[in-house]
Chains A and B, each alone.
Chain A
Amino acid sequence: MALNLGCTAKPGKTRENKTGSWRVFKPEFIHENCTKCGMCKIVCPEGCILENEEDLPVPDYDYCKGCGLCAEECPAEAIEMKKEEK
């Protein structure tokens, strides 16, 4: 790969770094309880909570580090952190 002059980069390559591999705990989303408040999306530092056709949150597990902020901040108890079996 050619070096970018002066150590620069265009956006996009961060997504090759799948930080989901860091995870110890995994958030399980319980859609039946979800009120679609959007809080999980707002507080995720990875920006990896997406929305499906019904506007329900769906995590992108490729990037989820399992920090648990979404579960902690969910007002509807719709997210549970479970130890991930690798």
Chain B
Amino acid sequence: MTNGSCDLFESGHRACGGCAAALAAKLILEAAGEDTIVVSATGCMEVFSTPYPETAWKVPWIHSLFENNSAVASGVVASLKKQGRSSKVIAIGGDGATFDIGMLCISGAFERGHDFTYICYDNEAYMNTGIQRSGATPYDASTTTSPAGKCSFGNPRPKKDMPMILAAHGAPYIATASIAYPADLKKKVQKAINIPGPCYIQVHAPCCTGWGFEGEKTIAIGKLAIDTGLWVNYEMENGMVTRAKKVKRKPVEEYLKEQKRFRHLFKPRTNDEEIAKIQQIADRNAEKYGIDIVLKK
């Protein structure tokens, strides 16, 4: 009997059943292989995989603090270079660690051009601490610090465009991916780790616990995000979008109504105005990245 599909991220970790972050970790390591050093920020993935003395990681792994995985990775890369060692360095963080508290460090590391890959597993809130809003939380999503209420529709701001920010730093390769398309994610990881310089991959990681859906639907929800245009899988090389996944677009309601975090847009009655605003976000994405499949008549 052969072992599990990934020998490098072991079973027995404490992620929720159906966790996209756990799936992402497994897929990333499958793609990267054993000659990889992982630098991890504080967050769900770090906490569920390394409660002393249990560790799920079979590659060298280090956690420092919440905001500084890029800075720690910079040091690791510098040390490996000086020692003539060629292992790949991957810094992994959630959206909180990447978009918000880690902005300083990721900006510095990308500006300095260190040869490493940063992978953000984007579950669109601070999940580890109990589902609080982050800079990656989409418009109108209800979180514990941006709850929907009598005078609130949830998060009032659109998602920060992190890939664009890092493209502006001169990153040679940037990609968005999703656990809903595992083979595509793995290909992008392999590409990124083999391109010299700082590369960034943002992986959509739908969170059943935080978004309010059943664990078995993790991949289905991920696909719906892409099918509605609210998440776009694309690649950027040297600042230019070179490839984007095309879809036959579905209306955003089909995605929103599956998740408790958007329930307030449908109950007690459907909020057409807010849903229209979210549809606009999807439409803008579609236009910007050219994702609509146009059938030739």
Bound CA span A58–B1, Å: 9
Q: With a CB–CB cut-off of 8 A, which chain B residues contact A4?
A: 52-53
Partner among B4, B58, B220 whose Cβ is within 8 Å of the Cβ of A49: B4
Given A16-B54, A19-B14, are A51 and B22 also a contact pair (CB < 8 Å)?
no
Interface residues on B, range: 35 or more
Bound CA span A68–B208, Å: 12
CB pair B18 A71 closer than 8 Å: no
Interface residues on A, range: 35 or more
Partner among B1, B3, B219 whose Cβ is within 8 Å of the Cβ of A69: B219
Partner among B13, B17, B219 whose Cβ is within 8 Å of the Cβ of A66: B17
Bound CA span A41–B183, Å: 12
CB pair A19 B12 closer than 8 Å: yes
CB pair B10 A68 closer than 8 Å: no
CB pair A63 B12 closer than 8 Å: yes
Chain B contacts with A in 1-32, Cβ cutoff 8 A = 1-6, 9-20, 22-23, 26-27
B182 within 8 A of A: yes
CB pair A47 B6 closer than 8 Å: yes
Q: Which residue of A lies closest to B217 (CB)?
A: A72
Q: Which residue of A lies closest to B10 (CB)?
A: A14
B251 within 8 A of A: no
Bound CA span A28–B226, Å: 30
CB pair B53 A72 closer than 8 Å: no
A13 within 8 A of B: yes
Bound CA span A73–B19, Å: 14
Chain A contacts with B in 1-60, Cβ cutoff 8 A = 1, 4, 7, 9-19, 22-23, 41-53, 58, 60
Determine how close the nearest CB of chain A comes to the CB of B90; give it in whole angstroms.
17
Q: With a CB–CB cut-off of 8 A, which chain B residues contact A17?
A: 12-14, 54
Q: With a CB–CB cut-off of 8 A, which chain B residues contact A53?
A: 1
A–B pairs, 28, beta carbons within 8 Å:
A7-B52, A9-B53, A10-B55, A11-B56, A14-B10, A14-B11, A14-B13, A15-B10, A16-B12, A17-B12, A17-B14, A41-B4, A45-B15, A45-B19, A46-B4, A47-B10, A49-B5, A50-B1, A52-B1, A63-B12, A65-B16, A67-B19, A67-B218, A68-B18, A68-B214, A69-B18, A69-B219, A81-B216
Known pairs A17-B13, A50-B1, A65-B16; list 4 more (Cβ under 8 Å): A9-B52, A18-B12, A48-B11, A69-B23
Give A contacts to B, CB under 8 Å: 1, 4, 7, 9-19, 22-23, 41-53, 58, 60, 62-63, 65-69, 71-73, 81
